[in-house]
A = this chain, B = another copy of it.
Amino acid sequence: MLVMQATQKERRPNRRGQGAQLREEILAAAVAIIDRDGTHETLTLRSIAREAGIAAPSIYAHFTDLDAVLAAVVDRFFDQLRERTFVGEDRPADPTVTLVAGCHAYASFATEYPARYRTLFGTVLLAKADEPDPDELSPGQEAFQLLVDGIAECAGEGRSDSTDPFTDAGYLWAALHGTVTLRVATPKFPWPPLDDTVDALVRRIARLT
């Protein structure tokens, strides 16, 4: 009979006034589990507590329940995605380069962190009853606006034949989403290189010239 040994190094309580630090450790533990499991669906309060090296009830001092932890994790993932796809002040002169680069950045985030991407867009998380924003759009639509603006700018400079940047951006978003998720779901399929796929999709769907 093998006995599981808790080789956890003994955790000391935080200093007085520093109790809020545990909140951070809880979130980091949740992220670690999501990345390791490849999904957020197996996350439990007890698994988070084990990962963080604390007792399960300690989580209640910082989050009301598992959904609250998950909501904070989702916020964090959206920040990371935003950071990836953000285009700074000194953007290239060619708007097609900016657009294509943004699509590659989006796809690379989803490919490097498939579980995080899945947490954001894999299921309808928003259906909780206490949803406070009836018409506020998802934070992911900030990234979407980058697509719309990118296509519109290309069209404005004659680099795209798009006559409806918003609609074409929707098509493109869906196509990129499908590319990164279907690759994960069907790992045996002989997919062509991701970069080639993203290039082809953005050029054809955004009708670049």
| Chain A residues within CB distance 8 Å of chain B | 39, 41, 121-124, 126, 137-138, 140-141, 167, 170-171, 173-179, 181-189, 191-192, 197, 200-201, 204-205, 207
Contacts and interface: CB of A to CB of B under 8 A. Distances in A.
Which secondary structure dominates where chain A touches chain B? helix
B178 A174 contact: yes
26 contacts: A39-B123, A122-B122, A124-B185, A124-B187, A126-B188, A138-B188, A138-B189, A140-B186, A167-B192, A170-B189, A170-B192, A171-B179, A171-B197, A171-B200, A173-B178, A173-B182, A174-B182, A174-B197, A175-B175, A175-B178, A177-B178, A177-B181, A178-B179, A178-B181, A178-B182, A201-B205
Nearest to A176: B178
Given A137-B189, A170-B192, A177-B181, 12 more contacts: A121-B182, A167-B192, A171-B175, A171-B197, A171-B201, A173-B178, A174-B175, A176-B178, A178-B178, A204-B204, A204-B207, A205-B205
A181 B187 CA distance: 18
